[in-house]
Amino acid sequence: MEYCDGGSLRDLSHVKLKEKHISYFAQQVLAGLEYLHEKERMHRDLKSENVLVNMEGTVKLADLGLSTTASESENNKSRMAGSKYWCAPEMISSTGYGTKADIWSFGCILHELADGNPPYGDFMPLKALYYTAKYGAPPLKNPDKWSENFLDFMAKCLDINPVERASAFELLRHPFLKTTSTRSEVKKLLQESFLLRVAERLAF
């Protein structure tokens, strides 16, 4: 695998992201998901640590070890996979799932980029799974801070009903993605994040 010197999206918790930054990363991740889903494949372990970035602003989906075909038997699709805080409700409740489970995980990444943690990230893992399956995702801590377009975009990703949840194809055409940063702005953000991480390590 090529080296991604910008780290992962999780590393960007060191810096305050604006909507235009989130829009940029969202567009890049969705392009990868659309490609996978067109090939009838599910990632099944999508989370911020598995979205890598290089210092030029190129985004890569990583760790496809749990990836599987969407056409596998219902028995296989009903097995829970992936990381607990990013699991879709239908995956937790073992009712069968498809590519829309990746969209839920993607929505959890958006939640993490906006709030610093995925949904129920402050809960113990089993409690987080229970709340996700029963109630879906909680709202952002400060919804007034975000635009209606962003909140609507997130809501379409985190619909508890996978039938109503948007696809990668649909999300790529959402107006929220028209507010994206330029690549040069993202490169500046990544450089800031890198310097902050270096400063933290030197402090130890």
The catalytic residue among 11, 45, 102, 159 is 45
For helices 19-38 and 148-157, angle between their N-to-C axes, nearest 10 degrees: 30
Catalytic residue at 5?
A: no
Radius of gyration of the chain (CA): 16
For the chain, the maximum distance between any two Cα atoms, rounded to a whole number of angstroms, is 51
Using CB atoms within 10 Å of the CB of residue 146, give its burial: 0 to 12 exposed, 13 to 18 middle, 19+ buried. Answer: middle
77 neighbors 97 (Cβ within 8 angstroms)? yes
H, E, C per residue of 34-51 = HHHHHCCEECCCCCHHHE
DSSP string, 56-67: TS-EEE---TT-
Q: Could you tell me the two tokens for 51?
A: 């979205």
Write out the catalytic residue numbers: 45
